[in-house]
Amino acid sequence: MRLEGRPVVEGRARGELLVTREPLSFFGGIDPLTGVVVEHGHELRGHRVSGRILVLPHSRGSTVGSYTLLRLARRGLAPAGVVAQRGDEVLVVGCIIAGIPMMLAPSLQELYELGSGRLAELRVERGGAVLEVL
Amino acid sequence: MTKEEELALDGYYGEALSIAMKVVVKVAEVSGAERLVPVKHAHISGISYKNIGEEGLEFLESLASKGARFAVPTTVNPGAFDLERKAEMNADEGAVRGQLRILEALRRMGAKLTLSCTPYIYERISFRDHLAWSESNAVLYANSVVGAMTNRDGGPLALFEAISGRAPLSGLHLEENRVPSVLVDFSGVKKALLESGLVGAAGLVTGRIAGSRVSLVRGLSFRNEDEVKLYLAAVGATGGTGLVLIEGLSPDLKYLRFSEGELERLAVDWGMVAAELERYSGAGDGVAVIGCPHLSRGELAEILDWVRRQGGAKRRLILFTSRAAVEGLELGEPNVEVYADTCMVVSDLSKYAGRSVLTDSGKAAFYLASQGYAVRLVPRGELLRYVVGEGG
């Protein structure tokens, strides 16, 4: 499976997919010291974002969430890549300062159906971006 | 992009400006902005060590070391403690060190360390100035009362906008996005609101109705600008909006063209106000906290004077204000503490005031309750009477 999208932050990443249909709060929702999702009631609660290609509609909550991505990256615990439907400020700023490759896709339906676990490769270049499920 | 912006993006002016420009350009791209707009002033929130941690601190320090400098006058939001009274707030040593390093990095980049959430009182901003402000109460005030133009930016974005001197030309920077889509009508409860002085509760109601939309507000009147800031701060707590058009007050209403008939209409009844009071009806035996947003110098003097004339505070009162407001004021008053540079929401209130509070601020009630405090929301008059020993 191959999904083309719009480039936001350039780079290459390979990792297992971690997919959610629910918006995720990065500040307060992910432990910056461990990379584990701690947001109460979230379907990813207890999962670790580290090294995964995180697929989500968009983020929510405090804009300090951008710093959470930075903190994770400095500790080597950040997601390997991010694929989102909407490029909100927290994700865009966070992925840039943390150096996490990021692309936007108009629809994530296929990935929602596929779910988490498959190995995938994200390639984001100036001219285009693609997520390939291996 | 202009030639200048492209050079900055490509790193001609150094790495720091290149990162800042990259962030602003990317946010502009994804928000559909056609270009960037130069801003006159920036205000940065999200600078607390507790929230951004050691890594956030190192990031700010490395930006400063790479030569990042704010391109426009830049002020900062309150931090975790009063710089001159750390001990009284029981601030822990590691957090103090971290916070001071963050402030030093911001100072090196050229920030004026105002540590105030009310930059609109101290900075020169005018109608139709483009600003890069974070801190929701400040954004709401600048847009709704001054008619300046700023989005409700996040702290990190405002930092990069301050360095680049530019913001994406989108959202509330564009006249067409400042027209209202909903009418919030307080006419039916106007008299009761005025008599009760429940400004904070009115703000919470407005925010819940407006959500992220621009609203036209009818039937509210305020005694002064200090009440307006109390109202707008509460709007920003329950709502995601950055602009409220208040009839008789907001300068935008003289210029915007829209048809009132097309607005969704919502009449506020007393039940909605009462529901907010019910949400924040905690124990009612705690410490009185006032100053969210920061008290102006006039308010501070008035409160201290009133308490003195009533024979002093019988219950503990904590006031939060900006450094600029306390200079030269006689603050020594038994049972009354005045803190600058910080506030009840961003400091660790439980360390010096316990976990049960009364406040007149809808915003503080909202955030403190979400942090697990027992909060009672009351009008300022009632709160002050409680402090001097009447009722309660």
Q: What is the pLDDT of residues A92-115, one digit of tens each?
A: 999 999 999 999 999 999 999 999
Other C-beta atoms within 10 Å of A53: how many?
28
Look at A63 and B46 and tell me if their CB atoms are within 8 Å: yes
Give the Cβ contact number of residue B223 at 10 Å.
10
Q: Do A89 and B157 touch (CB under 8 A)?
A: yes
B281-387, CATH topology level: Rossmann fold (3.40.50)
Q: Find out whether B343 and B319 touch, Cβ atoms under 8 Å.
A: no
* CATH of the domain spanning B3-175, picked from 3.40.630, 3.30.499, 1.10.760, 2.60.120: 3.30.499
CATH 3.30.499 location in chain B: 3-175
Q: Is A116 a catalytic residue?
A: no
Q: Please tell me which residue in A25, A50, A59, A62 is annotated as part of the active site.
A: A62
Q: Which residue has the tokens 């999208």?
A: A5
Backbone angles phi, psi at B130, to 5 degrees: -90, 130
Per-residue confidence (pLDDT) for residue B392, from 0 to 100: 47
Q: Which helix (H) or strand (E) holds B93?
A: helix B93-108
- Token reading at B62: 């490395």
Q: Which residues are bridge partners to B140 per DSSP?
A: none
A30 touches chain B (CB under 8 A): no
Residue numbers of B between 19 and 48 with CB closer than 8 Å to A: 19, 22-23, 26-27, 29-31, 46
Instruction: Give chain A positions within 8 Å (CB) of B23.
Output: 92-93, 96-97
Q: Say if the Cβ atoms of B58 and A63 lie within 8 Å.
A: no
Mean pLDDT per 10-residue segment, chain B (392 residues): 92 94 95 96 93 93 96 96 92 92 98 98 97 97 98 95 98 97 97 92 96 96 96 95 97 96 96 96 93 97 96 97 93 94 94 96 94 95 94 53
Q: Rounded to an integer, what distance in angstroms lies between the CA atom of residue B128 and that of residue A85?
A: 33
Type of residue found at A33: L
Q: How many CB atoms lie within 10 A of CB B196?
A: 18
Yes or no, beta carbons of A71 and B56 under 8 Å apart: yes
Interface A–B counts its CB contacts (< 8 A) at: 73
Q: Does B105 touch chain A (CB under 8 A)?
A: no
ipTM: 0.90
Residue A123, φ and ψ in degrees, nearest 5:
-125, 115
Amino acid at B171: G
Asked if the Cβ–Cβ distance from B154 to A87 is below 8 Å, we say no
- Residue B342 half-sphere exposure toward CB, CA atoms < 13 A: 27
pLDDT of A52 strictly over 90? yes
A71/B contact by beta carbon, under 8 A: yes
Q: Where in chain B is the domain with CATH 3.40.50?
A: 281-387
Q: How close is the nearest chain A Cα to the Cα of B269, in Å?
A: 29
Domains and CATH numbers, chain A: 2-133 (3.50.30.10)
Taking the complete model, does pTM exceed 0.90, yes or no? Answer: yes
